[in-house]
Amino acid sequence: MDAATTLQSDVDQIWTPEEPLPARPILRRLVGCCGDRWDEARLLRKVSVVYNPRLRTTLGRAILNARRVELNPHLLRDNPAELVPTLAHELAHLVVHRRHGTRVAPHGPQFRRLMRRLGLSSRATHALDVERVRRRRKSKYLYLHRCSDCGYSFVARRARRNCYCKACGPEMTWDVFRLPDTAAGRKLLEKLHR
């Protein structure tokens, strides 16, 4: 029986993807499985594993000096089969950091060797659909700028203070009107922009 088969059988006894995301005690046991196979049980006992709901598009991250792994509960709830590979991936970063410091590439040969010992992929990215969790950065307002001298106007998604009207020169001032970026706001903007 190879190491990968042994890891999978141990993991199956602790947690399966059909169950809800595991709580801290089960995460600790999963960490222990990796630590045993890498001969790093002592280091990994000091690692904290937490769910970070602020993570959006990444499955997890390792905070090296703090010895902490943060997991994305949103993506992992939708893709529970990614939990063990993600946890192992982030733990491998901590082990490589402890053994080699910052002298090696994050996904270099040392990292890949650890992942192979578990029978897991050493890929650095995932191909999951993240559109649902990606933060939309849409402007909430539209800004109508009108030259106080000649009446020239334009619309922008933010207030522009560092430009001036070409006809009136740098001594002019803008009258700026902030309107919500909604259907009613755009309708009012059309009336003001005329």
- Beta partners for 60? 71
Q: What span, in angstroms and rounded, lies between the C-alpha atoms of 131 and 142?
A: 25
By C-alpha distance, which of 53, 52, 112 is closest to 88? 112
- Cα 171 to the center of its chain, rounded Å: 45
By C-alpha distance, which of 130, 131, 111, 134 is closest to 121? 111
Residue type, 48: S
- Beta partners for 178? 143
By C-alpha distance, which of 124, 128, 73, 54 is closest to 96? 124
Strand, coil or helix: what is 130?
coil
Q: Catalytic: 70? A: no
The residues, any chain, with a CB within 8 Å of residue 8's CB and separated by 6 or more, are 119
The residues, any chain, with a CB within 8 Å of residue 109's CB and separated by 6 or more, are none
Catalytic residue, from 40, 70, 90, 190: name it.
90
Catalytic residue annotation = 90
